[in-house]
Structure 1
Amino acid sequence: MPYIPVEEHLPGITGLLEYRKDSAEPIRDLTQFLLRGPNTLTEGERELIATIVSHNNQCKFCTTAHTAAADLLYGECDTTDKVKHDLENAPLTEKMKALLVIARQVQQSGKNVTTQSVDRARQAGATDLEIHDTVLIAALFCLYNRYVDGLATLEPADPAYYGTLADRLVNHGYTRLPQGYDHLKKK
């Protein structure tokens, strides 16, 4: 049961963002820019950063949501499973593996990012901007994971919700739907 009143039809982060739309707007804008804006990292790669951070933070809602979004973008499920459980054998470039190591380090503490990890990423072809964005996305998802779990948000009643959410994230992005979310209420 959530610690604050949220709409029952809006599990996870969406209910919290709707609860306080004024603080949600800049967070949504930053997330939209980082995960869907112009970048040399693909949208799928950026969703993998959100996935690995959320998984390691044990945030069930965010892990499931971003796994579903990454799976949709990649068109398969093996990559996200390997990222979460066997990163070094994941079907990714060495650059992406190195960036995901940095993301995991940020998830533990920003001070856990090592010179060796940054050097590994650079040697694998990562740019300073990609390293920067990896750290920022990882830090942002630590915020989200703590926000979702810190207020004990609702889990969706139907696991199919995550597929619908993934479709919305991939095809609409992270900004608020113009019509809001009342259409999600059960009739």
Structure 2
Amino acid sequence: MSNFSYSKNFEGIMEVFMRRGNYYQPLLEFLQNTMIENSELTKIERELIAAHVSKLNHCTFCVQAHKAIIKDLGGDQALLTSLENSVEAIQGISENLRLLLVFVEKITLNSHEISEELDISPLRKAGIKEETIEDAANVACLFNMINRLVDVFGVKGSEEHFAMVGKVVSEKGYFSK
């Protein structure tokens, strides 16, 4: 159920963004740059990070949307099913991605405790480039914000909506100018 009179028929977060297009345009460009543009992290890996952050934030809408995107990007069913588990139990991911998921969990739940010594340095020592760490942090921070917007607006989505989001984002990205 919507929390605002003007959003009662909104199926997804993009309707929130399009309602005030110029206002949200910088966020949409950041979303596109973070999730689609060049990164050492694959699109599926970024979607996994976004899904994990959304799970931690209890944002069912975003979890479902990211799962649909992962599926349409070619993620297998075992991976999608294992997303409901702890980071250690997620199937089919690299150890470096697992380390990044632990890092974004700390960003989501205890960002005030992030330190170079305890968090960044171990990632570097594992062979993860600083830019890749930054990319993972950007995904986490972005979806912490978007999760909250979904909650504030009361966006719920539907199976049809998630299927459409998966198809559109996997083929065209999140936002095109």
User: Structure 2 length normalisation: TM-score?
Assistant: 0.89
Report the counterpart of residue 13 of structure 1 in structure 2: 13
How many angstroms apart in 2 are the aligned matches of 1:26 and 1:70? 24
Residue 12 of structure 1: how far off its partner (Å)? 2.5
Distance 2:166 2:110 in 1: 28
For structure 2, the 5+ residue unaligned runs are none
Cα deviation for residue 87 of structure 1 reads: 1.6
User: Whole-Å Cα distance in 1 between the matches of residues 89 and 108 of structure 2?
Assistant: 21
77-86 vs 159-168, which moves further: 77-86
**Alignment deviations for residues 47-102 of structure 1 (CA, whole Å, 9 cap, x no partner):** 11110001110011111101211222233122233244132132211110001111
The aligned residue for residue 30 of structure 2 is: 30
Q: Which residue, 146, 156, 166 being the options, matches 1:144?
A: 146
**Structure 1, residues 18-71: CA drift from partner, whole Å, max 9, x if none?**
221112211110010011001111000011111000111001111110121122
Counterpart for residue 164 of structure 1: 164
* 1:119-138 correspondence runs (5 A): 119-138=121-140
Q: Distance in 1 between matches of 2:74 and 2:123?
A: 22
Give unmatched runs, 5+ long, in structure 1: 179-187
Q: Report the TM-score, using the length of structure 1 for normalisation.
A: 0.85
Partner of 1:56: 56
1: CA distance between counterparts of 2:119 and 2:95?
12
Question: What corresponds to 1:173 in structure 2?
Answer: 173
Paired position in structure 2 for 1:77? 77
Q: Distance in 2 between matches of 1:78 and 1:44?
A: 14
Matched residue SS, 2:41: coil
**Alignment deviations for residues 101-160 of structure 1 (CA, whole Å, 9 cap, x no partner):** 11111111322335334333223321000111111110110000001101212x23x413
Alignment of 1:80-99 (within 5 A): 80-90=80-90, 91-99=92-100
What is the aligned partner in structure 2 of residue 181 from structure 1? none
**Identical positions, percent:** 25
Q: Which region of structure 1 is more displaced relative to structure 2, 27-36 or 75-84? A: 75-84
Amino acid at match of 1:152: G
Q: 1:41·1:130 contact (CA, 8 Å) conserved in 2? A: yes
Alignment CA distance shift 1:127-1:83 (3 Å):
farther
Report the aligned-residue RMSD: 1.8
The 2-side partners of 1:7 and 1:152 are apart by 9
Give how far 1:7 is off. Answer: 6.5
